[in-house]
A and B are shown apart, each in its own frame.
Chain A
Amino acid sequence: MGVVRTETVKTTRRLRTYISFGVVIVIPIIMTIALKANPPDQPQGGGGGGLFFLSARFSGLVLPAAALALMSSFLLIIIVAIFGGDAMASDASWGNLRFVLMRPIGRVKLLFAKLGVAAFVSWAAVFTVVLVGLVAGAIVFGWKGLDAPHFENGHFTVIHQSVADLLWHLVIATAYVSWMLTGLVAFTFLLSCVTDSPLAAMGTGVGLYITSQILDAIEPLGSLRYVLPTHYFDAWRDLIFQGHPTSDMARGALLMIGYVLLFTGVSVWWFRRKDILT
């Protein structure tokens, strides 16, 4: 446990960690105030979260979902890439990695401690967005259920979700987004093992995410798009408006298992044979 504690202290006492958590706390609050001051009357803008913004007027429990939709499209990507990209490369860039490995610590043990802490802090950032959104939304827009408009097979219906339903769906959405971001943590962590440069690892990780999004937008790519790490990223949004998890969420979660295993496996293989020269 010593190595886990060490890595936790290193990560949680960094200025960039404080700033990252400051951002995920402040933005849902600003969003809540803005929605209260200027409530939208149609679903527009909001980084794909327009329908959430509209619905948040009727239930404060939708606001965390709106905050998640807004922030998971870019800001959480950056934050998670920072945590993953920093994990190994920061020690290397300080010259401290060689001293860490001069202790009788297994390289694989150290790697999993660092990856675990990076993933945990990333999940904590997602959880914070939802928690702050929930508190702010409940205070400003009320603690109540939602009648969500739903259009399917040419029929317009209203799906009612109780407070318990919404809370349960928020839990699932938080877990899903956290898991989908774990793929990015694992990828930036792999780069962090390879490059010795936190910035390069972070930048390349974000670059992969953007590239995957662009490729996903090219419909002629057909079924190839289904294996892109970002293809099912937003599948959780249907939870709130369809009232149940969709098959796309299951596919997304399963696909990400493959990516996490792949990136983690390559990280282990690389780091075990790596010469520590920094």
Chain B
Amino acid sequence: MSTPIVEVRGLSKLFHGGVLAVDDLSFAVAQGEVCGLLGPNGAGKTTCLRVLLGLIHPTKGDAFLFGERVHPSSPLLGRVGALIESAAFVPHLTGMTNLKLWWESGGAKLRDADLDGALAIAGLGDAINRKVKTYSQGMRQRLGLARVLLGRPEVLVLDEPTNGLDPGEMREVRQLVRRVADEGATVLLSSHILAEVEQVCTHAVVMDKGRLVAASTVDDLVSSSGSVYLEVDDVAAAERVLRELTIVQRVQVEPPGLTVGMNGGKRSELVAALVRAGVGVETVMVRRRLEDAFLNLVEGDE
């Protein structure tokens, strides 16, 4: 088996004050994969990414890039393009100056950077020569993505990359991630937008409370979701009945029906219980969405 491009092994991070942000986390991302890092707020995703980039010292365990242990200011970081949380710049300098200085600060020559490609991605036109403090959130985010791609990175680490973008820009970013991946880059992408992960990612790692909940291909996760959508004539009564069943993990009201997360059992048992309680069932439909799989995994972990 080839060496994973990105790997965390037994990673834990305990912050001052006793907050255990990451707890014995292990996963790996192979060459060319687009891996989504999923988890509710506070799951430890950003902490994990920061360790991977040498920004945070792990309490235990290690992070690896290209098979080598990552440490602050590791030369391996020159092969990585990263956007952690929202893009930030030196506000009193122009977008262009920010890009150039950031690149040169690493000791690289400007001629080695893909400046034209980055500027095309930023799509800021003449605004590239304006001070960054005059930019909107979306413009900063686009400039941030341009900065990520300046060095034609082999690995992209993106934390909520579509933050602050409008729907059209979000779509462009997703296409961009896919294109970069198609060109051979490995991508680790953290996002709250599950539909985005479903569209872009080939693999997913699900975290909750700092721990690994699942790691698989997106297709496998979705097909194992075990969610059922039921359209009924009395949603409130159906919700009461379903919540009492042991095979039901969660119930989410979605008028005119409900989505039911199951942990085992048969769909027919749900229908039988509803009919016995006098609730008419109009439709039973198997749901295969990442959102349902994610909620089942995370709520099942509680």
Contact = CB atoms under 8 A, between A and B. Distances in A.
Among A13, A94, A99, residue most surrounded by chain B Cβ atoms (within 10 Å): A99
A13 B73 contact: no
Given A6-B105, A10-B93, A276-B50, A102 B88 contact: no
Contacts of A276: 50, 55-56
A99 B50 CA distance: 11
A37 interface: no
B101 A6 contact: yes
Contacts of B53: 98, 101-102
Interface residue SS majority, chain B = loop
B93 A99 contact: no
Interface centre among B50, B74, B147 (most CB of A within 10 A): B50
Contacts of A148: none
Contacts of B91: 94
A3 interface: yes
A19 interface: no
A104 B77 contact: yes
A100 B73 contact: no
A214 interface: no
Contacts of A10: 90, 93, 101
Contacts, number: 93
B78 interface: yes
B92 interface: yes
Contacts of A219: none
B224 interface: no
Interface string A1-18: 011011001100111000
Interface string A223-246: 000000000000000000000000
A176 B86 CA distance: 45
Interface residues of B, number: 35
Interface of A: 2-3, 5-6, 9-10, 13-15, 91, 94-96, 98-107, 109, 272-273, 275-277
Given A2-B106, A101-B73, A273-B57, 19 more contacts: A2-B105, A6-B102, A9-B93, A91-B90, A95-B86, A96-B89, A96-B90, A102-B53, A102-B82, A104-B73, A104-B74, A104-B76, A104-B78, A104-B107, A106-B73, A272-B72, A275-B56, A276-B55, A277-B50
13 contacts: A6-B105, A10-B90, A91-B90, A94-B89, A95-B86, A98-B88, A99-B87, A101-B72, A102-B54, A104-B78, A105-B107, A272-B72, A275-B57
